[in-house]
A and B are shown apart, each in its own frame.
Chain A
Amino acid sequence: MNPTELVVNEKLASIEPERKEHGIVMELSPYGVDKKKLGMWMFIVSDACTFAAFLFAYGYMRIGAPVWGTPFGPSSIANGVLMTAILLSSSLTMLAAVRASQADDRSSAKKWLGVTMLLGVIFAALHLREWFKLIGEGWRLFYNPTGGAAQFGATFFSVTGLHLTHVVTGVIALAFVVRGYSQRRYDQSHVETAGLYWHFVDLVWMFVFPLMYLMNAH
């Protein structure tokens, strides 16, 4: 390293102290976000395509079916609205957690993360209750007890199942974040990255709920 470079580097280091990897000064990031967040954004882009393919298959099946099942009565819709409200609130509590971590208020951040996880668990429980109710009524991946298209079960269970998997994964991921954050191995950027994921799962539900529930209400 020649002396001019050193001068340049130190100057840069003072302007952009965070743009370093393994001690090496990096070119400015075009979006000014750190790699975890950028990686999460890439995952979200890709995962959105996966959900889109599932929903495309759902639409294709539904348009092609002469009779489509509409199994959801008022109680199921009420349950769905409650689930939606819970998931939306969990986005708010997640936001509170991110804000708290940015203010370096660790105890408050942990508290809000805990509330978010709790809401996620309640959502999953309500979701499973809905599933078991349907299964009890005879709905299967391949069977429609009302005599309509068998694709209802296939699309409903696979789309909501995929979403439920995301929620459960999110709760587990949050547990790891809380642990790392408590041990001060993680900082606010980890909380923020987890928040991105959580909001994305919430956003997907905003598509799943009207398409899978409201459109299938009788």
Chain B
Amino acid sequence: MAETMAHAVAHHAPPQGFIRKYVFSIDHKVIGIQYTTLSLVAAFVGMALSWAMRIHLAWPDMRLPILGWLSPNGAPGGLMTPEYYLSLMTMHGTIMAFFVLTAAPFAGFGNFMLPIQVGAADMAFPRLNMASFWVTFTGFLLACATFFIPDGPPLSGWTAYAPLSAVGSVAGPGQGWGQNLWGLSIALFCVASLLGSLNFIVTVLDLRTKGLKMSRLPLSTWAWFIDAWVSLLAFAVLLPTCLLLVLDRLGGTSFFIPGGLVFNDQLQPHSGGSPLLFQHLFWFFGHPEVYIIILPAFGLVSHIMPTFIGKPLVGGWKVITFSEIAVGTLSFVVWGHHMFVSGMSPYMAMVFSVPTLFITIPSVIAVLVWVFSLYGANIRFDTPMLYSLGFISLFITGGIGGFFLAQPSTDSYLHATSFVVGHFHFTMGLSAIFATFAGFYYWFPKMFGRMMNEKLGKLHFWLSFIGVYCVFITMQLTGMSGAVRRYSALVDDFMVPLIPAYRFMTIAALLLGAAQFIFLYNVIWSRFKGPKAPDNPWGATTLEWDTTSPPPFDNFGGRQLVVHHGPMEYDGDESLMQTSPEPSIAGT
């Protein structure tokens, strides 16, 4: 025993030197903070892009000098060209979907918290973990690099539909090296996600501390575990999709490019490829992707709520976890609902519609669990809880839109309208962002050892919550009148009357964005000036609160933890730390 301990200490002596400690660190906590920081930077970049787009939509004549400086071709004199609008839109989607929504709640918090929550000293493969982050970082740099090449970023949307994305510069500006870099950037992101998921799964299966049976896992760990599986299978398909796209562009192959295409009266040399193959491959990844984004959010909210309502979730760990497993599994058989009007067989549309509608059942169960857990509760409205409540409200609103888009008949009207854009911003965008905020306010004390300012946190919540509804409910409802998405200007007869609504959304979006600077200020101020955080400021029960804030290098200072029960056990009114051996009296 003594020998093993000595070995452990030798193995887990904190590294020395700035580079080993903070840059190329194998410590999962540093990597978690690196991911979170990367996502935060990416989120502000993505938000700035959305501001530029919204301003251009509402006031097309307004000059934005910073854009003129960034891209003299894309925005001469600060006036955005249509293709630059589409480029900004593409990069907004790409950066937000991959580098913010996929990275922050899964890789960011997951890396920091998952090993601690299972009582391990680190991830199963710390070096692989470090590699995941730096590959993601390189991917992000490549994505950002597209802004600084002469041709500008790609304009084919985050979905990069072929053949627009595959034929190269003949299809117009924004189809040169920007699209190649995009493909490589996403391919790198896939590799990093695969390595990360593998690491998460093995850590959960193999590194749980004594007594931490699967049934006793914290709900956030459960969600990351399920999410890692979905991610492992889905990104494994996006990777070859990106490679084939790049091969079409650089290798002259025709996987996604059919014959007989004519650009500028020139017949293209390709033949025999299929744009629908791209759509099938992309959406086979793309639909699980939205669940890859939202499942960690399910987990964060389910993990945070019991602490602030003073009781377990209805149905204990089982109901919520099984609905997450059901959602994750069904997500692989519904991808065709993105392709109802794509020319795919209309019979296939029916085949894909039914499981898509059925996925609402586990989703509804999850929502019911959260809402009805509030019944008879003793709710404490700290900022993490407010964000969790905001998440529930936004997820309900977003989920409702799913009923319309899951049916081919109604989707044939609503497809490609701003109804869709509003729907997915609610469901996977802002729901996930709100859950991420909940997690951020909840775990900040643990990650940095200081409390965040509650007043600013609440102000941030109220402004964000109202702002989100102003922007995206309007967006979704204008879609009912057929407002088409991805238009860089409102020139169609039926789009012109919508200009006041678009201006309202723009103003609301600018205010919503401005509110995020309160958050940024709060983060930076609290990081250095916030009051010192106690070990367990919220009265929570999971292992991350059974160590110092922030935790030592090996997480528990060499202590052997023994877990005696699940995360939602109570002794009378008092919640029980998972390591406390008292027999439970109440709870599930």
Task: Count residues of chain A with CB under 8 A from any CB of chain B.
Answer: 50
Check A10 against B121 for contact (C-beta < 8 Å): no
Check B202 against A35 for contact (C-beta < 8 Å): yes
Taking A24-B119, A30-B214, A39-B125 as contacts, is the C-beta distance between A150 and B277 under 8 angstroms? no
A-B CB contact pairs (8 Å), 6 listed? A26-B206, A39-B125, A57-B240, A64-B274, A141-B251, A141-B253
Check B252 against A31 for contact (C-beta < 8 Å): no
User: How far is A30 from B214 in the complex, measured between Cα atoms in Å?
Assistant: 9
User: How far is A30 from B244 in the complex, measured between Cα atoms in Å?
Assistant: 38
B201, B202, B207, B558: residue with the most chain A Cβ atoms closer than 10 Å: B202
- B255: contacting residue among A10, A27, A45, A154, CB under 8 A: A154
A35, A46, A140: residue with the most chain B Cβ atoms closer than 10 Å: A46
Check B254 against A151 for contact (C-beta < 8 Å): yes
User: How far is A175 from B298 in the complex, measured between Cα atoms in Å?
Assistant: 44
Check B254 against A142 for contact (C-beta < 8 Å): yes
In the complex, given contacts A141-B251, A150-B272, what are 20 additional A-B residue pairs having Cβ atoms less than 8 angstroms apart? Answer: A9-B560, A20-B4, A21-B206, A24-B561, A25-B209, A26-B210, A27-B208, A35-B125, A39-B202, A42-B198, A47-B236, A50-B236, A53-B236, A53-B281, A61-B274, A64-B274, A142-B251, A142-B254, A150-B254, A151-B253
- B1: contacting residue among A10, A43, A47, A57, CB under 8 A: A10
Chain B, residues 198-220, CB within 8 Å of chain A (1/0): the string is 11011001111111111000000
| Interface-facing stretch out of B6-14, B158-166, B338-346, B404-412 | B6-14
- B209: contacting residue among A27, A35, A52, CB under 8 A: A27
Q: Which residues of A contact B (CB under 8 A)?
A: 1, 4-5, 8-10, 12-13, 20-27, 29-31, 33-35, 38-39, 42-43, 45-50, 52-54, 56-57, 60-61, 64-65, 140-142, 149-151, 153-154, 158
Q: What's the nearest-Cβ distance from chain B to residue A178, in Å?
A: 20
Does any Cβ of A come within 8 Å of B226's Cβ?
no
User: How far is A136 from B295 in the complex, measured between Cα atoms in Å?
Assistant: 51
Give chain B residues whose Cβ lies under 8 Å from the Cβ of A9: 210, 560, 562
Taking A9-B210, A39-B202, A154-B247 as contacts, is the C-beta distance between A24 and B253 under 8 angstroms? no
Closest residue on chain A to residue B228 by CB atoms: A42
Check B210 against A29 for contact (C-beta < 8 Å): no
Check A149 against B272 for contact (C-beta < 8 Å): yes
Check B125 against A8 for contact (C-beta < 8 Å): no
Give chain A residues whose Cβ lies under 8 Å from the Cβ of B558: 23
User: How far is A150 from B174 in the complex, measured between Cα atoms in Å?
Assistant: 27
Check A22 against B121 for contact (C-beta < 8 Å): yes
Give chain B residues whose Cβ lies under 8 Å from the Cβ of A4: 581
Check A50 against B239 for contact (C-beta < 8 Å): yes
User: How far is A26 from B4 in the complex, measured between Cα atoms in Å?
Assistant: 14
Closest residue on chain A to residue B2 by CB atoms: A23
Give chain B residues whose Cβ lies under 8 Å from the Cβ of A33: 206
User: How far is A54 from B253 in the complex, measured between Cα atoms in Å?
Assistant: 14
Q: What's the nearest-Cβ distance from chain B to residue A38, in Å?
A: 5
Taking A10-B1, A35-B207, A49-B236 as contacts, is the C-beta distance between A65 and B254 under 8 angstroms? no
Does any Cβ of A come within 8 Å of B369's Cβ?
no
User: How far is A10 from B9 in the complex, measured between Cα atoms in Å?
Assistant: 19
Give chain A residues whose Cβ lies under 8 Å from the Cβ of B212: 27
Give chain A residues whose Cβ lies under 8 Å from the Cβ of B560: 1, 5, 9, 24-25
Closest residue on chain A to residue B199 by CB atoms: A39
Closest residue on chain B to residue A32 by CB atoms: B206
Q: What's the nearest-Cβ distance from chain A to residue B288, in Å?
A: 11
Check B201 against A42 for contact (C-beta < 8 Å): yes
Q: What's the nearest-Cβ distance from chain B to residue A67, in Å?
A: 10
Give chain A residues whose Cβ lies under 8 Å from the Cβ of B11: 22
Of residues 226 to 275 in B, which have CB atoms within 8 Å of A's CB atoms?
232-233, 235-237, 239-241, 243-244, 247, 251-255, 269-274
Give chain B residues whose Cβ lies under 8 Å from the Cβ of A153: 253
- Lowest 3 A-B CB distances belong to which pairs? A23-B8, A49-B236, A142-B252
Taking A22-B8, A23-B5 as contacts, is the C-beta distance between A46 and B207 under 8 angstroms? no
- A158: contacting residue among B9, B210, B241, B244, CB under 8 A: B244
Does any Cβ of A come within 8 Å of B124's Cβ?
yes
Give chain A residues whose Cβ lies under 8 Å from the Cβ of B156: none
A5, A13, A57, A140: residue with the most chain B Cβ atoms closer than 10 Å: A57
Give chain B residues whose Cβ lies under 8 Å from the Cβ of A39: 124-125, 128, 198-199, 202
Q: What's the nearest-Cβ distance from chain A to residue B283, in Å?
A: 12
Q: What's the nearest-Cβ distance from chain A to residue B321, in Å?
A: 15
Does any Cβ of A come within 8 Å of B197's Cβ?
yes
Taking A27-B213, A38-B202, A65-B272 as contacts, is the C-beta distance between A46 and B233 under 8 angstroms? yes
Does any Cβ of A come within 8 Å of B194's Cβ?
yes
Check B252 against A141 for contact (C-beta < 8 Å): yes
Check A42 against B213 for contact (C-beta < 8 Å): no
User: How far is A195 from B42 in the complex, measured between Cα atoms in Å?
Assistant: 41
Of residues 93 to 122 in B, which have CB atoms within 8 Å of A's CB atoms?
119-122
- A42: contacting residue among B8, B232, B561, CB under 8 A: B232
Check A141 against B247 for contact (C-beta < 8 Å): yes
Q: What's the nearest-Cβ distance from chain A to residue B396, in Å?
A: 33
Of residues 167 to 212 in B, which have CB atoms within 8 Å of A's CB atoms?
194, 197-199, 201-202, 205-212
Check B232 against A25 for contact (C-beta < 8 Å): no
Give chain B residues whose Cβ lies under 8 Å from the Cβ of A158: 243-244, 247, 253
User: How far is A42 from B239 in the complex, measured between Cα atoms in Å?
Assistant: 16
Check A5 against B236 for contact (C-beta < 8 Å): no
Check A22 against B12 for contact (C-beta < 8 Å): yes
Give chain B residues whose Cβ lies under 8 Å from the Cβ of A12: 210
Check A42 against B202 for contact (C-beta < 8 Å): yes
Taking A42-B202, A141-B251 as contacts, is the C-beta distance between A50 and B240 under 8 angstroms? yes
Check B207 against A151 for contact (C-beta < 8 Å): no
User: How far is A35 from B121 in the complex, measured between Cα atoms in Å?
Assistant: 14
User: How far is A45 from B253 in the complex, measured between Cα atoms in Å?
Assistant: 28
Check A46 against B198 for contact (C-beta < 8 Å): yes
User: How far is A8 from B206 in the complex, measured between Cα atoms in Å?
Assistant: 20
- A61: contacting residue among B122, B208, B272, B280, CB under 8 A: B272
- B232: contacting residue among A27, A45, A142, CB under 8 A: A45
Give chain A residues whose Cβ lies under 8 Å from the Cβ of B581: 4
Check A24 against B209 for contact (C-beta < 8 Å): yes
User: How far is A52 from B280 in the complex, measured between Cα atoms in Å?
Assistant: 13
Check B205 against A26 for contact (C-beta < 8 Å): no
Q: What's the nearest-Cβ distance from chain A to residue B148, in Å?
A: 30
